[in-house]
Amino acid sequence: MSWQVHLPALLLAVPLLGAFLAPLTALGGKGLRNTWFVLVSAAFTMIAFLLWTRVGSTGTAIYVMGGQGWNLALPSGMSIPVRILMEVDAFSAFMVLLSAVAALAGALFSIGFMDRFSGLEKFVALYFLMVTGMFGMEITGDFFNFFVFLEISSVASFGLVAFWRDRGEALEAAFKYMLVSTLGALMVLVAVAFLYSKYNVVNMATLGKVIEWGMVEKTALVLFLTALAMKCGAVPMHMWMPDAYAEAPAGVTCALIAVSQASLYGLFRVTYTIFGAFMGSPVIPWVIIVLGVLSMFIGVSMAVIQKEVGRLIAYHSVSQVGYMLLGFGVGLLALSDARAMAEYGFTALKGGIYHIVNYTMYKGLLFLSAGALYYATGCRNLNDMGGLGRKMPKTMVLFMIAAAAIAGLPPFNGFVSKLYLYESTFAVHPILAVFAMVTSVLTLASFVKIFQTAFLGPALKKFENVREVPGTMLIGMSVLGVAILALSLFPTWSVNHLVEPAAKALVDQASYIGAVFAASLTGGGL
């Protein structure tokens, strides 16, 4: 057994260790703390990459925490999996990889961005805790752990959103975010309890195997759907999102995006893997589709009228989440019908998954460049900015890349995923594709607005002393910029190697369930 078997555990252990030792490294001064911040971030990105390659080559990875062996017969002849189980299939590994990249970029950016603030050892500790929670949500194999990791990442991110606690707005945003998140997490817990009451298991694969379609399951599904849609910022409960994203320090926002993607991951794990084929009626898929369309449209129309850079970009997050919900909803609609799946369902799913990676990369970069603008000029309002392109050329280029990608201009990566979505949603109902296109146009309009007002125009007198942001911040932004360019230049490669395995793993309910029973449990007599 090679050491790579331990990768899922290491993925959680390394950022945890990073968090717990961060206050101690701070005793050694600023340099040591920053080195630790970068080292641990690089380490978990490396682990995430190795995990992704391993899952790609050897299939779903199972890890039993504290188990005595890989083929563990549970004591007292019990065949119900009660041990803490990590299950990493291609979709999880894909999510882990892109979250790790976003977290790495946020960490690198934060070094320069947060430099003048005190209390950074706590910042680093909370940052790593949030990352741990995010990874945990994505690789866990049982529902209760999902709740625990959801809470870890949420509680850590409340602290990070309110890090600038001398600003009342930050506290207000954190309180709102906290209320929505806590309520959502408790709903997840109630849903888990409902499922437990009937099946006496919390393990995802086991549940997926034995689940039936009854009142208890319907209640649980509705609770899961409500809670996780709240957490990922779909429209009726989106109001925390612009507040929290705009008020958090920019590096944190970059990681927060990945955290909200982890909630989205949970939503799809529940609907596809647990309920999947048992969900015969098209009600739930249509609910997801309608939520998606509403998020897309309301998000973007709120964004157009914003004046603060951060809030404008944050409202675009709402609309981008709508794209993913749309793609996954259409995929879910086609799940029980093999012909529809081949015709448009799988394309929609690919579009949704591709959009997740694109969204995380370019939205992270947008927030980072908004943070860079704030760092350099000290103002958040678009009306006060202008002519910064000459002073901050590198930031401008990176912002341009991200803005072109989010607006879906060819040949950037946003175009490819949006094309998949247009194509497939048109087959379901033309109006969906129309909404998606209108949203895309409005997105382009509002990013042209930011670009025009902030970077172009005559140089303002008050910005004479503005200089380009420090190197570490630029490196953090470039990580995401390079990722976007790579995804744009090699669309075929990324679709074939990144997106397709993930999409296949998501629809392949049987292999997710089978992997657990094959690998870690003897006597699967449930």
Partner 1 sequence: MNPLSVVARTVCNLFAWFLAVFGIYVIVHGHLTPGGGFQGGAVVATFMAFLLVAHGGRKMQSWVRKELFTLMECIGLTVFISAGLLGMSNTFFFNFLAKAGGLFGSTVPLGPNPGALNTSGTIALMNLSVGLEVVGGLSMILLYMFSGVHPEEPFGREETGHDR
Partner 2 sequence: MTGNFPYLVVGILFVMGFIGIVFEKNLVKIAIAVSVVEAATNLFIITLGYRSGGSIPVWTMAGSGSSRMVLPTPQALTLTAIVIGLATTALMLSFAMSIYRHYGSLDVRDVRRLRG
Query: Where do contacts with partner 2 occur on this chain (CB under 8 A)?
Result: 82, 144, 147-148, 151, 155, 158-159, 162, 165, 167-169, 171-176, 178-179, 182-183, 185-186, 189-190, 192-193, 196-197, 200, 202, 242-243, 247, 302, 305-306
Which of partner 2, partner 1, none does residue 65 bind to, with CB < 5 to 8 Å depending on kind?
Answer: partner 1
What is 78-128 written as a DSSP string? --S--S-EEEE-HHHHHHHHHHHHHHHHHHHHHHHHTTT-S-HHHHHHHHH
The distance of closest approach from Cβ of residue 153 to partner 2 in the complex, given in angstroms and rounded to an integer, is 12
For partner 2, the closer of residues 89 and 217 by Cβ is 217
Q: Taking CB under 8 A as the rule, does residue 13 contact partner 1?
A: yes
Residue numbers 369-428 binding partner 1 by CB under 8 A: 378
The answer to whether 213 contacts partner 1 (rule: CB under 8 A) is: no
Q: 144 or 426, CB closer to partner 2?
A: 144
Check residue 21 for interaction with partner 1 (CB under 8 A). Answer: yes
Q: Of 62 and 279, which CB lies nearer to partner 1 in the complex structure?
A: 62
Which of partner 2, partner 1, none does residue 243 bind (CB under 5 to 8 Å by kind)? partner 2
Say if residue 514 is exposed, middle or buried (CB neighbours under 10 Å; 0-12, 13-18, 19+): middle
Check residue 30 for interaction with partner 1 (CB under 8 A). no
Tokens of 309: 């850079």
The pair of three-digit structure tokens given for residue 511, joined into one six-digit string: 């292999």
* Footprint (CB under 8 A) of partner 1, residues 91-130: 116-119
Nearer to partner 1, 32 or 448 (CB): 32
Smallest Cα–Cα separation from 484: which of 298, 297, 358?
358
Residue 412 backbone dihedrals phi, psi, to 5 degrees = -75, 165
Of residues 164 through 203, those in contact with partner 1 by CB under 8 A are 164-166
Helix or strand run (H / E) with residue 61: strand 61-64
Residue 62 parent element (H or E): strand 61-64
58 binds partner 1 (CB under 8 A): no
Residue 49's binding partner, choosing from partner 1, partner 2, none, with beta-carbon cut-off 5 to 8 A by kind? Answer: none
Q: Which is nearer to partner 1, 23 or 236 (CB)?
A: 23
- For every residue of 251-289, which 3-state class applies, written as one string? HHHHHHHHHHHHHHHHHHHHHHHHHHHHCCCCHHHHHHH
- Beta carbon of residue 186, minimum distance to partner 2 (angstroms, whole number): 5
Q: Answer whether 51's CB lies under 8 Å from 138's CB.
A: no
Q: In which region does residue 53 sit, left (phi positive, over 0), alpha (psi from -120 to 50) or beta (all else)?
A: alpha
CB nearer to partner 2: pick between 178 and 454: 178
Three-state SS for 34?
A: helix
Rg over CA atoms, the chain: 22
Q: How far apart are CA 233 and CA 265, in angstroms?
A: 13
Which chain residues interact with partner 1 by CB under 8 A? 6, 9-10, 12-13, 16-17, 19-21, 23-24, 63-69, 84, 116-119, 164-166, 378
